[in-house]
Amino acid sequence: GTMLRTRLARPGRTLRLLDVVPPPGGVGVPGEDAIVASVTDMAAMIEASTRADAVIHLGGVSGEAPWERVLETNIQGTYTVFEAARRAGVPRVIFASSNHAVGFAPRSAFPVPDYAFPAPDTYYGVSKVTGEGLAAQYHHRYGMDTICLRILSCFEHPHNVRQLSTWLSPDDAGRLFEACLTADQPGFRVAFGASANTRGVVSLDEARALGYEPMDNAEAYAAEIIAAHGEPDPADPVLAYLGGEFTQPEYDADRLG
Ligand code: 15L
């Protein structure tokens, strides 16, 4: 959200930010409203959604967590976002899904196709599949435009060998969300969110069909990453599946605590 804040700013557009804490840099920035509330609070979400043209839902736990926490924040929170948007009459919701909805897609399936059947690698991944199900329902039942972005690794820079394949640069993230905001009558879509990485592991066809034109490529960091971490090892279990470390036995809610 912080990365998108500057990249989605446009003359004449108001960004209404919502988080459980005040935004970094504070409130009162021209072109912004800021609301401190939880995505699990239906009344606050309806009020926040009122008169919005679109909702971008990025709120939740961003990695594995105990089931109860995933259920409350990610699953109940995502239901609340969609339902509040419906009650407030918002025509479009863009949901930050994740590659972890299909984290157990094996290397033999690379590049993973758009709309690949769910293969969540964690409870977190299950929450993203649930969000995609809600997006489908709110489109088919209520006619809302709903776009699910199966985001890969959105960081300032790639940090490891896997991210040479999975990086989504902040600027490309801005371009992708802007495409989702402005695509004409998109209906229900599920697209991957990654930069134009030479070592890419997912289809970008559906994202491009929405109007996304990626400009960045993690390969610009390859020499630096390989010098620090070594050449990618095809036998490395972290590289066996799309979800990387999330698929590994030690990345487990019970062990993570
Ligand atoms: C995600 O969905 C996480 O939110 C993020 O922290 C990264 O771990 C990313 O996936 C990834 O797969 O690199």
Span 10-28, mean pLDDT?
A: 92
Predicted model pTM: 0.97
What is the Cα–Cα distance from 179 to 84, expressed in whole angstroms? 23
| Per-residue model confidence (pLDDT) at position 255 | 85
Count CB-CB contacts under 10 A for residue 103: 24
Q: Report how far ligand 1's centroid is from the alpha carbon of 35 (Å).
A: 25
Among 57, 73, 98, 157, which residue has the most ligand 1 atoms within 8 Å of its CB, making it the best to mutate? 98
What is the Cα–Cα distance from 10 to 157, expressed in whole angstroms? 25
Q: Token pair for residue 126?
A: 């299950």
Closest residue (by CA) to atom 11 of ligand 1? Answer: 153
Q: 95-107, pLDDT tens digit by residue?
A: 999 999 999 999 9
* Residue in the block written with tokens 């371009």: 175
CA dist 196 → 59, 109, 192, 220, 238 (Å)? 26, 18, 11, 11, 21
In one-letter notation, the amino acid at residue 16 is R
Which protein residues touch ligand 1 with a CB less than 6 Å away?
62-63, 98-100, 152-153, 166, 244
pLDDT at 257 over 80: no
Q: Report how far ligand 1's centroid is from the alpha carbon of 211 (Å).
A: 23
Q: Report how far ligand 1's centroid is from the alpha carbon of 108 (Å).
A: 21
